[in-house]
Structure 1
Amino acid sequence: MSDSSEVSRARGSGRKNVYETLRNEILTLALAPGQLLDETTLAERFNMSRSPIREALIRLAGDELVVTLPNRSTIVAPIEIATFPKYVEALDIAQRMNTRLAAALRTDADLKTIARRQKEFEAAVGTGNHLQMSEANKKFHMAIAHAGRNPYLASFYERLLNQGQRMLHLHFEYLERTHDGYLLTDEHQLMLDAIAAKNVDLADELAHAHTRQFQDNFISFMRENYTTDVSLTPLKAAE
């Protein structure tokens, strides 16, 4: 391999490492919402030039995990509590529609994939690692979305799941600390059973309840830990 190829490979590896490290730290809240991400400081931390740092930040901006301010400084994307009711409303609709479609259209191969993803989530819960848990949770729900065979709805759903990963970490933390509820595994299994039975209405009902549990626990966490006057209206019952 030529020297230029070695250098290119090293640079690519460096960019990937910066991106993955910062992404993990943002998702686990090790980098707090609103925290300044200074290119010079990060370059010193990772012992590399500012160019790969900048590229990693651009990629994180595409993931909506960082925000570039008018003064061109970059911060970790805030968790917008004021817009949470609208977020969870959209999540509820996307979750219900994708789960309904999966129940109607799933194949045996889809069921095997969803069941495998559920086992992976259970294994992640056993580790107590919130990042592994949130990643496994997303893969479980995306397996359901892919079984619904509507790439537009699946893409919208994936974007919402990505946006909600940090909130899901707070959800996990709340459940583990208060023991008020359970870590989604029972609900996942019930959703899988409804999809396997092709029971569209039950799948819809369970998907809605799943979103509502996330909403209720996130609201409880926020009221316990932060002062907020945001009106957090409970989701309506599934129709």
Structure 2
Amino acid sequence: MADEPEFRRVRGTGWKSVYDTLRMEILDLTLKPGQLLDETTLAERFDMSRSPVREALIRLAGEELVITLSNRSTIVAPIEVGTFPKYVEALDLAQRMNTRLAAVFRTPADLKTIARRQKEFEAAVKTGVHLKMSETNKQFHMAVAHAGRNPYLASFYERLLNQGQRMLHLHFEYLERAEGGYLLTEEHDQMLKAIEARDADLADELAHAHTRQFQDQFIGFLRENYSSDIALSPQRAAE
């Protein structure tokens, strides 16, 4: 079909090469939500047996990037529009708590790491490459989380950030078209300053505003594109 993505033939060295390639293609939406991932076709593409392909798919399933259906076929995980409000609710709590803790427990070394991650995000924004932008955005927020010194909260937060990367790409696309949209770099700077000042209340407030900004802009994307041919889950987004 004319609208199907074309993939170059890749010769891999094991499951890791399959995993890395498929993960990148899922996150940057080259592989569309709901798209079938056939083991035989993938094995041919990567020029290897089905066993490493199966291992890669199992690991991607562990990150909730692919889903195995009842008939044992595997598809790229849908983007669940209907559960977006619940996702944002969890993201908001995790983001606020990790940022608050960072303001309390951060060290000078943590501040340097957070600042470096922010510069990397700013550099990625200038490239316009959405995968680089989402990955460096994640690394900024995880640097904040690690500064909070609670590995359980940081792990939960990382899982949420991973699950939200494809939504973030759609969010980036919307901002590129929307008048007055911006890419959150100023908010990152403000959060860093609050953490540096050990102002936990301000850090919490900024983290909450950061989540709300993402929520509002993603809902704007849904309103603009919900009836388009982008393969989203058929559930309706909550108002």
Is TM > 0.5 for Structure 1 vs Structure 2? yes
Q: Percent identity?
A: 79
Q: Which amino acid aligns with 1:98?
A: N
State how far apart, in whole Å, the 2-side matches of 1:57 and 1:188 are.
34
Tell me, yes or no, if the aligned pair for 1:121 and 1:140 is still in contact at 8 Å: yes
SS at match of 2:44: helix
What is the aligned partner in structure 1 of residue 131 from structure 2? 131
1:232 corresponds to which of 228, 235, 238 = 238
What is the aligned partner in structure 1 of residue 44 from structure 2? 44
Offset of 1:88 from its aligned partner?
0.3
State how far apart, in whole Å, the 2-side matches of 1:44 and 1:12 are.
11
Q: Does 1:185 align with 2:185?
A: yes
Tell me, yes or no, if the aligned pair for 1:219 and 1:232 is still in contact at 8 Å: no
State how far apart, in whole Å, the 1-side matches of 2:120 and 2:60 are.
26
SS at match of 1:125: helix
Tell me, yes or no, if the aligned pair for 1:57 and 1:66 is still in contact at 8 Å: yes
State how far apart, in whole Å, the 2-side matches of 1:41 and 1:223 are.
36
Note the residue ranges of structure 2 that are not aligned, 5 or more in a row. 1-10, 228-233
What is the aligned partner in structure 2 of residue 8 from structure 1? none
Q: Does 1:120 align with 2:139?
A: no
TM-score (norm 1): 0.90
Q: Deviations over 1:137-156 (max 9, x none)?
A: 00000000000001111111
Q: Does 1:56 align with 2:56?
A: yes
TM-score (norm 2): 0.90
Tell me, yes or no, if the aligned pair for 2:81 and 2:237 is still in contact at 8 Å: no
Offset of 1:12 from its aligned partner?
8.0
CA gap of 1:69–1:143, structure 2 versus 1, over 3 A, is same
SS at match of 1:13: coil
What is the aligned partner in structure 2 of residue 75 from structure 1? 75
State how far apart, in whole Å, the 2-side matches of 1:71 and 1:113 are.
46
What is the aligned partner in structure 1 of residue 162 from structure 2? 162
Q: Does 1:152 align with 2:140?
A: no
Offset of 1:104 from its aligned partner?
1.0
Offset of 1:231 from its aligned partner?
5.2
What is the aligned partner in structure 2 of residue 101 from structure 1? 101
Offset of 1:180 from its aligned partner?
3.0
Tell me, yes or no, if the aligned pair for 2:103 and 2:198 is still in contact at 8 Å: yes
What is the aligned partner in structure 1 of residue 17 from structure 2? 17
What is the aligned partner in structure 2 of residue 220 from structure 1? 220
Tell me, yes or no, if the aligned pair for 2:134 and 2:168 is still in contact at 8 Å: yes
Aligned residues: 223
Note the residue ranges of structure 1 that are not aligned, 5 or more in a row. 1-10, 234-239
Alpha-carbon RMSD:
1.5
Larger mean Cα displacement after TM superposition, 25-34 or 221-230 = 221-230
SS at match of 1:75: strand
What is the aligned partner in structure 1 of residue 6 from structure 2? none
